[in-house]
Amino acid sequence: ETGVTQTPRHLVMGMTNKKSLKCEQHLGHNAMYWYKQSAKKPLELMFVYNFKEQTENNSVPSRFSPECPNSSHLFLHLHTLQPEDSALYLCASSQELAGVYEQYFGPGTRLTVT
Amino acid sequence: DAKTTQPPSMDCAEGRAANLPCNHSTISGNEYVYWYRQIHSQGPQYIIHGLKNNETNEMASLIITEDRKSSTLILPHATLRDTAVYYCIAVGTASKLTFGTGTRLQVTL
């Protein structure tokens, strides 16, 4: 496996379900990110982790709960989502250095909340 | 970070050079210009970045004007696989990437 992988690629869940998105990077990077891309809207940064520590939370509702057990893995736990949470969820990683913004993105998880 | 302005869409014939402009007239001295692209329903892909000098890699060339108020991404020989949304981002140190709406490039036969 190379690069950044995300599973599942597609997910349909009801508003009362609990599910998790998984991201894994094989690039030796120390920073990982979650982005949300709703239809016809720009990418929105949700969370940033640097060396497993959360360094940014962009006012994301608590029904989205990230977890970063190590520098290679990132999870997004989902519970009691709303239909407006349907979107493409993208994970990215980078080498966290000042002035370096080369982020490598995974293919995304297409989430549909019914 | 400086705001960037890009045309919403452009067309390019396959095999020709695609020149994608970006205006960043309020860019400050320590802000880099980054370019990414996003092919339909995939994650964005890093293309190139620069500060003051022109840059070239295997994917593209980046031409930054001397006053740094604008730049052009050049795909020298566009192919159908280059059809994507291209994002120009001005970002300074200790900031985060902020994606706008980009330019939708359509490469045609």
3-state secondary structure chain A: CCCEEEECCEEEECCCCEEEEEEEECCCCCEEEEEEECCCCCCEEEEEEECCEEEEECCCCCCEEEEEEECCEEEEEEECCCHHHCEEEEEEEECCCCCCCCCEECCCEEEEEC
Residue B94 Ramachandran class (φ > 0 left, ψ -120 to 50 alpha, else beta): left
- The helix or strand, by DSSP H or E, that contains position B45, with its residue range, turns out to be strand B45-50
Alpha-carbon distance of A110 to B1, in angstroms, equals 30
State the smallest CA–CA distance between residue A44 and chain B in angstroms: 8
Chain A interface disruption, residue of B28, B46, B57, most A CBs within 10 A: B46
Instruction: Yes or no: say if B18 and B103 are a contact pair by the CB < 8 Å rule.
Output: no
Cis peptide before B8 (omega within 30 of 0): no
- Confidence at residue A99, expressed as pLDDT on a 0 to 100 scale: 59
The pLDDT mean for chain B works out to: 93
Task: Give the tens place of pLDDT for each residue, B8-46.
Answer: 999 999 999 999 999 999 998 889 999 999 998 899 999
Is residue B76 pLDDT above 80, yes or no?
A: yes
Chain A interface disruption, residue of B6, B32, B34, B42, most A CBs within 10 A: B42
Alpha-carbon distance of A36 to B106, in angstroms, equals 24
B45: contact with A, CB 8 A cutoff: yes
B53: contact with A, CB 8 A cutoff: no
pLDDT in tens, chain A (114 residues): 569 999 999 999 999 899 999 999 999 999 999 999 998 889 999 999 988 888 888 889 999 999 999 989 999 999 999 999 999 999 999 986 655 678 999 999 999 999
State the smallest CA–CA distance between residue A102 and chain B in angstroms: 6
Supply A73's token pair.
């893995």
Q: Do A102 and B32 touch (CB under 8 A)?
A: no
- Confidence at residue B34, expressed as pLDDT on a 0 to 100 scale: 94
Q: Do A92 and B43 touch (CB under 8 A)?
A: yes
A5: contact with B, CB 8 A cutoff: no
Is residue B51 pLDDT above 90, yes or no?
A: yes
DSSP state of B102: -
B97: contact with A, CB 8 A cutoff: yes
Count of Cβ atoms closer than 10 Å to residue B65 Cβ: 12
AA identity, residue B86: Y
Sign (positive or negative) of CA dihedral B76, A103, B27, A47: positive
